[in-house]
Amino acid sequence: MDQQQLLQHIIFSPQTLLTLLLCFLSFLLLRYYHKQPDQGRRRLPPSPPGRFPIIGHLHLVSPESPHVSLAELSKKHAGPDGLLLLDLGQARTLVVSSPRGAEAVLRAHDHAFASRPPSAVADVLFSGASDVAFAPYGERWRQARRLVTTHLLSAGKVRALAGARGEEVALVLAKVRAAAGSGQAVDLSELLGAYANDAVCRAVSGKSFREERRNELFWELIAGNAAVLAGFGMQDFFPGLARVRLLRRLLLARTIGLKKRWHELLDKIIDDHAAKLSSSSSRKQHERHDEEQEDQERDFVDVLLSLQHEYNLTRDNIKGILIDMFAAGTDTSYIVMEFVMAELMRKPHAMAKLQAEVRGQTPKDQHTVKEEDLSGMAYLKAVVKETLRLHPPVPLLLPRVAISSCDDVNGYAVPAGTHVVVNTWVLGRDAQSWGENAEEFKPERFMLDGGSEVDYKGRDFQFLPFGAGRRICPGLGFGMASVETMLANLVYCFNWELPRGIREEDIDMADVFGLTMRRKEKLLLVPTIPPDLEHDACGRSA
């Protein structure tokens, strides 16, 4: 064994790593006893008993279902405002579990809590948090956010993409129609996931990647994002570990590999678009164009490249924004659609009511539901809202961090540097807001007195599936257009049955926690064509 091999063996040996870890934990223990918060001078939010040295309250939080365990802790130990202070390793964390607490953090003190806590995973995956979702608050983030909301996800841009969404819907309908009548179940989870992915690919790059089979790679990478960004890894609770080179390589190995695969894929897409833009620029340099109209006609990559100099975008900035678009646009839409169909199968009367509305509101001379038909479908919108209430795609909103100390968050002091986690899953099940039957799927709760005013746009703090304030999800309009169009067509063109031997109460609604929360089991359903649509072209246009 030569000197270099011997050195590598010593450095990476289990004994060396264990020694380093023990030294680091000893350092944390000393800090714990010498830097305890001064409880006497400021009134901090309540904390549960049983805090251990070094790990704090970590042992009280389930990594498999943290949204549930945090809800239980808040119910037992939080004050009337639903504010609970936990020490999760090195991360002092304020857990918000009530609408009043959420309003204090996301409206009254939104500026103080508008940033993101440092994240070793985000730093690696987004090359220093160069995206929009995980970037710290500041001028760089404001510029990126303005670019996304003005040029990529504006209402005009969402409308301009309706044709592409319609084509992707037609492809799904054709696949379902081919299986209808055979009595065989279709994997609706797979179909909806592919649709969400393809719709985003069309918006981002102008085409889907079905023929190249790169759509499967996108789906795999998006699932990887949800796993590493869930916020419950050792590097999140003990960020100092990620600063130790040897431990960083161990803790972030999966993220480093994930970043490499994302960049290989996105570099190819960006290079292809750059080459096309270069060849077409000479033809347009003497022509005058409406810039807003051009933005609406071009895909996201073209728009970002055309604005690269105006917004001082690096290639890492572009790739970070594109990763946000792919991950957020695909995963959340797919999750909502799958949960909607699962809930409708558990409640046949809700399915019948929705089908009656959609079939009654769609013009008789149309073979499919168009996006302009959706505005009058109040029950469809109520079904989607009720699903978002019970099954928010992101059960714990992305963490925020206190930029400065806040001494009056509903009477409590929140020190600078405190992480803030809003449990939107428990907000949607709050009995004071939603009544004693808060756990029941009941779309009619959004249609009381001609239509409830409660909406998901960040103004109603008992219902925050997309967040609120400065950090509200900018893709809300794009996502809802994709979801409502697909669902309306599925219930318009087909009747749906459960596979033989399966009852409504047998449908497993268990979920798997990550950055997003999806159903654990696949949704297999049997489609049939309604008698009055037997000779219709529904689903054949693809």
Q: Residues within the annotated binding site for heme?
A: 473
Q: How far apart are CA 116 and CA 402, in angstroms?
A: 9
To 10 degrees, what angle do helices 315-346 and 214-228 make?
A: 90
Do 525 and 345 contact (CB within 8 A), yes or no? yes
Alpha-carbon distances, residue 404 vs 36, 71, 352 (angstroms): 19, 26, 52
Map residue 528 onto helix, strand or coil. Answer: strand
Binding site, annotated residues: 473
Q: Which residue carries 């059960």 as its tokens?
A: 395
DSSP secondary structure string for all residues of 411-462: TEEE-TT-EEEEBHHHHTT-HHHH-TTTTS--GGGGSGGGS----SSSS-TT
Burial of 106 (0-12, 13-18, 19+ CB in 10 A): buried
Do 466 and 456 contact (CB within 8 A), yes or no? yes
Q: Which residue carries 């001379």 as its tokens?
A: 365
Question: Nearest CA to 358 among 333, 336, 384, 332?
Answer: 384
Q: How far apart are CA 295 and CA 518, in angstroms?
A: 33
Q: How far apart are CA 129 and CA 131, in angstroms?
A: 6
